[in-house]
Amino acid sequence: MYSVTKIVKLLKSITAREVFKRCPQVKQQLWGGEFWSDGDFASMVGKHGDERMIAKYVEAQGSEYLQLHRNEQMTLF
């Protein structure tokens, strides 16, 4: 029953608050103390998309991410 904008704002707020609580030093390293930039973007899957296509896309994104970053990223949660 929430709009996409409301959900994105909630997620941004909750994740930033949790990161700052667990890693307070992060806030001092950020430009202006802001964890997220302003604005958001959402896109829908059109009539040509289905669950299988989305799953394939997500899987490909994960493998590409792992190839780029390996285990060099900090674990937040």
Could you tell me the CA-to-CA distances from 11 to 21, 35, 49 in Å, in that order? 15, 12, 25
- The tens digit of pLDDT for each residue in 22-48 reads 998 888 888 777 888 888 877 777 767
pTM above 0.85, yes or no: no
Domain boundaries along the sequence of the chain: 4-69
